[in-house]
A and B are shown apart, each in its own frame.
Chain A
Amino acid sequence: RKEVEQDPGPFNVPEGATVAFNCTYSNSASQSFFWYRQDCRKEPKLLMSVYSSGNEDGRFTAQLNRASQYISLLIRDSKLSDSATYLCVAGNTPLVFGKGTRLSVIA
């Protein structure tokens, strides 16, 4: 199975910090890309889709580099409530999930 690789972390950052997560995917035929957020012992929830042109949703910015097969997520002005595991997702059907990057935002 093609893989999605991401740094497991944890990333421990203070409130208000900017933090970036990266991931790489190995299947060049992947067409769909997402970031999901998963809280402890909960199901993953869609955070945002990722497009080649880049997209922004409030404090969150996602970027896709198809040539390098690289996806990123930038979180600005981190909040305590951003603490979670962020799953990088690539693929077609079915989607392939990375193992997640754990973020802890500290007061």
Chain B
Amino acid sequence: GAVVSQHPSRVICKSGTSVKIECRSLDFQATTMFWYRQFPKQSLMLMATSNEGSKATYEQGVEKDKFLINHASLTLSTLTVTSAHPEDSSFYICSARRNHDTQYFGPGTRLTVL
């Protein structure tokens, strides 16, 4: 299957700081990448759809100024959690669409905000 990497895998930060998460498609070009968040024992919740070269599309209830997404190339999308707070602690997972609608997921980033 296709390979998607995500970095860092785990981050602990203080409240008020910003955290950047990178998502890369390693063996294919992805015009569309997706960012999800998953709280314990909950389903994946789509946060935003990231399209290369254009602005991301955010889901209802997701603050675009707090979760900054940049998709500058066909293999890289970044999510920056700005002014993180403890309630932002979660498992953030990106995925990249390879063809049709098959999505391949990165290994996820576990964010803990103290």
Contacts and interface: CB of A to CB of B under 8 A. Distances in A.
Given A93-B32, A93-B49, A94-B34, A46 B104 contact: yes
A49 B104 CA distance: 12
Interface residues of A, number: 22
Interface stretch (B40-48, B64-72, B74-82): B40-48
Contact of A41 (B42, B43, B91): B91
A61 B91 CA distance: 30
Contacts of A45: 1, 105
B102 interface: yes
* Max chain B Cβ within 10 angstroms of own Cβ: one of A1, A41, A94: A94
B32 A46 contact: no
A32 B32 CA distance: 16
A94 to B, nearest CB: 5
A43 B46 CA distance: 14
Interface string A32-47: 1010000001111110
Contact of B102 (A49, A87, A96, A98): A49
Contacts of A12: none
B43 A100 contact: yes
Interface in A87-104: 87, 91-100
A95 B105 contact: no
Contacts of B43: 87, 97-100
Interface residues of B, number: 23
B17 to A, nearest CB: 24
Nearest to B106: A43
A31 B101 contact: yes
A95 B97 CA distance: 10
A34 B105 contact: no
Contacts of A98: 43
Interface of A: 1, 31-32, 34, 41-46, 49, 87, 91-100
Given A41-B110, A42-B107, A43-B106, 6 more contacts: A32-B100, A87-B43, A87-B44, A93-B97, A96-B46, A100-B43
9 contacts: A42-B107, A43-B93, A43-B106, A44-B93, A87-B43, A87-B44, A93-B49, A94-B34, A97-B43
